[in-house]
Amino acid sequence: MISRRDALLGALAVSIADGLLSKAMAAQDWPNTYVKLLVGGAPGSVPDSLARLAVDALSARLGQSFVVENRAGAGGIVAMQGVATAAPDGYTIGLATISQLVFNEYLFAKLPYDPARDLKPISTLATSASVLAAHPSLQVSRLADLVALSKRDPGKLLLGIPANGSPPHIAALLLLKTTGLSASVVPFKTGPDSLTAALRGDIQLLIDGPALLAPQIDSKALSAIVATGHERFGSLSAVPTIAEAGFPDATAESWLGIVAPAGLPDPVADKLSRECSALLGNDAYVQKLKHLSFAPKSTTPSEFRDLIASERARWSPVLQTAGLKLG
């Protein structure tokens, strides 16, 4: 005779098996309608450029439309809150930067989302860094000359950043502190806004991603001074790294990756992560990334989670020392 305990355990086992099977089937069926990718940058911004490459490639692979939905502003908070509060079914995901998953915890007293609790890391897509560029009227091409020029009239030079708390902003703080460059930081709402100001000569310096700046540097509308990454960018191979300019401690790179609502079932998360990784086998996609000066990079969900933890450890003292608060 089967005891009540054995019956209950048997029913529990069946329930668990049914649940696992249901999740596996959901992953196999996903996606069966379009997927929204929320991006915390404006059209034409660095995150937006990567997002549009990724959705085109994912759409082609999976036979379903992936569409970008721009929710710019507030350091990407609006976009990440949209992901955190979405149904955890894989049909609303987000493109997160290092700002939204690491920096914002130090920049905002009360975030409406908890990066560790409310968001599920899926995979990184790419890494990048920033470029410091100058208006040609400054007539400088070397960082040492720019630093010397800035010290003649401290704080007079205006350094534009795409947004408060953005990766270029944090890179700029580290660069100013490490090199002795004297400039007043001017935040804009978006990268294109800061670029327009730099081209007009309203600001003398600008720091942002090479995807935005490379065309202007190639056309001589702006002069590249230095890149903050470990290596030179393919599209800006003549621009020295910050280490080559004599300041290795000012090296700063960032990454961008896919996140989902925290409750997304693991089978769906793993499938999406594998699809992101598979994009690196698409030569056309990879070449487009490199053309925009992104370095392709994919991770498993657990690897992405570990990366976020290590970045928190690295940047915590920098941000705490800076004392920068945005809200």
Domain with 210 in it: what CATH number? 3.40.190.10
Is pLDDT at 325 greater than 90 in this prediction? Answer: no
What pLDDT, on a 0 to 100 scale, did the predictor assign at position 17? 44
Does residue 20 form part of some domain?
no
Is pLDDT at 49 greater than 80 in this prediction? Answer: yes
> Lowest-confidence range among 3-7, 195-199, 275-279, 280-284?
3-7
> Lowest-confidence range among 53-67, 238-252, 306-320?
306-320
> Coil, helix or strand for 96?
strand
Neighbours of 155 (CB within 10 A): 9
Rounded to whole angstroms, the Cα distance separating 105 from 283 reads 36
- Single-letter residue type at 180: G
Helix H or strand E encompassing 146: helix 143-152
First to last CA, the chain: 65
> Coil, helix or strand for 246?
coil
* pTM recorded for the entire structure: 0.78
Torsion of CA 182, 226, 129, 103, to 10 degrees: -10
Is pLDDT at 160 greater than 90 in this prediction? Answer: yes
CA 58 to chain centre: 18
Query: Are residues 51 and 108 in contact, defined by beta-carbon separation less than 8 angstroms?
Result: no
For 25-65, give the DSSP string: HHHHH--SS-EEEEESS-TTSHHHHHHHHHHHHHHHHHSS-
Give the range of the structural domain holding residue 115, as residue numbers without chain letter.
31-127+255-322
> Are residues 144 and 246 located together in one domain of the fold?
yes
- Single-letter residue type at 113: Y
> Are residues 191 and 246 located together in one domain of the fold?
yes
Is pLDDT at 3 greater than 90 in this prediction? Answer: no
Angle, vertex CA 249, rays to CA 195 and CA 243, nearest 5: 70
| Mean pLDDT, residues 72-91 taken together | 93
Query: Which are the contacts of 326, defined by CB distance < 8 A and separation ≥ 6?
Result: 75, 107, 108, 164, 165
Report residue 12's pLDDT band, with 50, 70 and 90 as the boundaries. Answer: low
- In the chain, % helix, strand, coil (3-state, to 5) comes to 50, 20, 30
Please say which residue of 199, 220, 250 terminates a domain: 250
**Higher pLDDT, residue 73 or 213:** 213
pLDDT, one tens digit per residue, over 204-260 is 999 998 888 989 999 999 999 999 998 888 778 899 999 999 999 999 999 999 999
Nearest to 167 by CA among 127, 203, 134: 127
Q: Within 13 Å of residue 306, how many CA atoms lie on the same side as its CB? A: 5
What pLDDT, on a 0 to 100 scale, did the predictor assign at position 167? 86
CATH number at residue 317: 3.40.190.150
Nearest to 216 by CA among 145, 134, 289, 106: 134
Tokens 């990268």 correspond to 191
Prior bond of 162 cis (ω within 30°): no
> Are residues 148 and 238 located together in one domain of the fold?
yes
Query: Are residues 128 and 291 in contact, defined by beta-carbon separation less than 8 angstroms?
Result: no
**Higher pLDDT, residue 119 or 212:** 119
> Are residues 116 and 265 located together in one domain of the fold?
yes
What pLDDT, on a 0 to 100 scale, did the predictor assign at position 27? 67
Is pLDDT at 72 greater than 90 in this prediction? Answer: no
Q: What's the number of domains the chain is made of? A: 2
What pLDDT, on a 0 to 100 scale, did the predictor assign at position 304? 97
Angle, vertex CA 38, rays to CA 33 and CA 41, nearest 5: 150
| Mean pLDDT, residues 81-101 taken together | 96
Rounded to whole angstroms, the Cα distance separating 320 from 313 reads 11
| Mean pLDDT, residues 82-109 taken together | 94
> Are residues 298 and 213 located together in one domain of the fold?
no
Is pLDDT at 89 greater than 50 in this prediction? Answer: yes
What pLDDT, on a 0 to 100 scale, did the predictor assign at position 24? 52
> Are residues 180 and 259 located together in one domain of the fold?
no
> Lowest-confidence range among 9-13, 226-230, 256-260, 273-277?
9-13
The overall average pLDDT reported for the chain is 89
What pLDDT, on a 0 to 100 scale, did the predictor assign at position 210? 87
Does residue 7 form part of some domain?
no
Angle, vertex CA 44, rays to CA 39 and CA 49, nearest 5: 60
Ranges of beta strands (E only) in the chain are: 35-39, 66-70, 92-97, 119-129, 131-134, 158-161, 184-187, 205-208, 223-227, 253-261, 295-296
The percent of residues in the chain predicted with pLDDT above 70, rounded, is 91
Query: Are residues 285 and 53 in contact, defined by beta-carbon separation less than 8 angstroms?
Result: yes
